[in-house]
Amino acid sequence: MIPDRPKAAHAENRSLFRGLFLVNFAITLGFGIADAFFSLYVFSLGARGMLLGLPLVFYSLSKIILSPFMGAWADRIGRRKVAAVSLGLYLFVSVSYLFTTSLTLITLLRLLQGIGCAMFRPMVVSLVSECTCDKRRATVMGTFDISFYGALSLGPLVGGILKDLWGFRGIFATLALLCITALAVAFISIPSHKDASSQPTHYETEHLWGLLNITRHSSLRGLLAFIFGRACGISLLGAFLPIMLTARLGLNGTRAGLVMASSTLVMTLLLRPMGMLSDRAPRKSLVVAGGTAVSLLYFLIPVAAGFSQILALAVGIGLFSVLSQPASTALLVEEGSRHGMGATVGTFNSVLNLGFVSGPLLGAGLQTTLGLTAVFYAAGVMGLGAVVLFMVNVFYEEGGQTWKQPMTVYVSMSKKLQWSERMDIEGQ
C-alpha cells in the first residue's frame, strides 16, 4: 500500500487545485461583474461627491491595512477555516446588496468586502502553493492565475448583459449565486486536514513585530518594490488610457474596448506557457526583462498615431507583463515558504493595492499640472525605478550570500586551526 500513497497525494492535490481554480474564478467573476458597475449603482442611489468615493476608499484601505494581518492569521489557524470565513463574508455582502439601498450600509458592506478580500487571496495562494513541487511552481501558479485574469476579462461584459436584462438586482443576484457556488466548492475540495497548516509554525510573523519586520529581507523587499511600480502602471493605464483613446485618438467605443481588453486577453492566453518558461529560465531575469520592456512601452503610448499602433502597444504590454507574472509569483511563493505563506502574500497584496490607489492619485495631479502625456511618462519612470530597486535588492542578496559563504569557511578553518594548536600544546 505504501507505493499508492504518492498517487493518493497527487490525486488529492489535483482535486484541490481544480476546486480552488473554480472558487477563484467564481469569486473574481462575481465581484468583477459587480465592481464594474458599482460606482454607477451608488450614483443612481443619489451618492455625490464624498459619498460617491467613500465606499471605494473604505474598500481599498481595508485591503491595504488588513491583508498582512489576515495572511498571518491564516498561517496560524489554518486555511480551511479562513476559506469558510472569507467566503461566508463574501456571501453575506452579496446578499445584503440585494436588500439595502442605504448608502451608509452600502459603505459598511464595502468595508466588509475589503476584509473578505484581505483574507481570501493569501489563503488561496497558500493552498495552491501546497499543491505543487518546486520544479513546477511557476507553471502551476501561472495556470491558476488564468482563473483570475479570465474572470476579470469576462466581468464587465457579463455585467453589462445582466444590467441590460435585469438591472442592478440581476447583477447582485448573480454575485450571490456565484458566492454560494464558491463556498460549496470550497467545502467539498479543501480537505479538513488543511485546517492545520502543512508548514512549520515557528515563523517570525507569529508576533506583530515579526510581521512588520519581514520586509527587512532584501529579496522580499525587491519584490515589493517591483509590484508597487507595476501596480501604479496598471492603475494609471486603466484610469487614463480611455481618455487618450477617445479624446486624443478619437476611437469609437468598440475600438477603445478592444484596445483595453487586448492586454488582459494576451496575458490570459500566455500565462501557462510563460509559467513553463519560468520553471526553466532564471526567474529574476524574466522579472527584470518583462518589467523593463513594459516600462519602455509606456513611453511610446503618447506618440501612437492611430488604432493599429495603440493596439500593438497594448498587445506588447500584455505580452511582456505576462513574461514577468508567473516568475514573480513563484518568487513570492519561495519567500512565503521561508517567512510564512499567508503573511508574505498578505504583505505583497497590501503593497499591490497601495500601488493601485497611488497610481490614479498621482496621475490626477500630473494631468492637472503637466497634461495627459506626463501621466504615461510617469508610469514608465516608476516602472523602470521599480525594476532598478528589484535588481539592487537581488544584487544585495546574492552579494551577501557570496560574502557569507567564504566568511563561514574562514571561521570554520580558524576554529579547526585553534583546536589543532591547543591539542599540540596539551600533547607537549
* Confidence at residue 239, expressed as pLDDT on a 0 to 100 scale: 86
Is the pLDDT at 387 greater than 90? The verdict is yes
Q: Which residue has the cell 523602470?
A: 384
* Confidence at residue 419, expressed as pLDDT on a 0 to 100 scale: 47
Is the pLDDT at 378 greater than 70? The verdict is yes
CA atoms within 13 A on the CB side of 233: 30
pLDDT digits (tens, 9 = 90+) for 22-63: 999 999 999 999 998 888 898 889 888 777 788 888 999 999
Stronger pLDDT, 22 or 426, i.e. the higher one: 22
Instruction: Using DSSP, state whether 217 is helix, strand or coil.
Output: coil
- In angstroms, the CA 297 to CA 294 distance is 5
- In angstroms, the CA 207 to CA 313 distance is 46
Is the pLDDT at 2 greater than 50? The verdict is no
Q: Which three cell numbers stand for residue 73?
A: 492569521
Radius of gyration, CA atoms only, the chain: 24
* Confidence at residue 404, expressed as pLDDT on a 0 to 100 scale: 45
- Sign of the alpha-carbon dihedral angle for 59, 60, 63, 65: negative
- Sign of the alpha-carbon dihedral angle for 380, 381, 382, 384: positive
pTM of the predicted model as reported, rounded to 2 decimal places: 0.85
Q: Per-residue pLDDT averaged across 271-285, rounded?
A: 94
In percent, the amount of the chain with pLDDT more than 90 equals 54
The number of beta carbons lying within 10 Å of the beta carbon of residue 425 is: 8
Q: Give residue 230's identity as a one-letter amino acid code.
A: R
- DSSP of 254-287: HHHHHHHHHHHHHHHHHHHHHHHHHTTS-HHHHH
Is the pLDDT at 343 greater than 70? The verdict is yes
Structural domains of the chain, ranges and CATH numbers in brackets: 9-194 (1.20.1250.20), 215-416 (1.20.1250.20)
Is the pLDDT at 250 greater than 50? The verdict is yes
Is the pLDDT at 409 greater than 60? The verdict is no
- In angstroms, the CA 52 to CA 61 distance is 16
- In angstroms, the CA 396 to CA 328 distance is 18
- The least confident of 90-99, 127-136, 300-309 is 127-136
The number of beta carbons lying within 10 Å of the beta carbon of residue 165 is: 9
30 touches 175 (CB < 8 A): yes
Q: Per-residue pLDDT averaged across 248-256, rounded?
A: 84
* Confidence at residue 210, expressed as pLDDT on a 0 to 100 scale: 56
- In angstroms, the CA 141 to CA 162 distance is 31
pLDDT digits (tens, 9 = 90+) for 193-223: 665 544 444 455 455 555 556 666 667 889 9
- In angstroms, the CA 207 to CA 107 distance is 31
* Confidence at residue 215, expressed as pLDDT on a 0 to 100 scale: 65
Instruction: Using DSSP, state whether 101 is helix, strand or coil.
Output: coil
pLDDT digits (tens, 9 = 90+) for 287-330: 999 999 999 999 999 999 889 999 999 999 999 999 999 999 99
Q: CA angle, corner 245, sides to 243 and 249, nearest 5?
A: 120
pLDDT digits (tens, 9 = 90+) for 137-155: 899 999 999 999 999 888 8
Stronger pLDDT, 251 or 389, i.e. the higher one: 389
Q: How many residues does the chain have?
A: 428
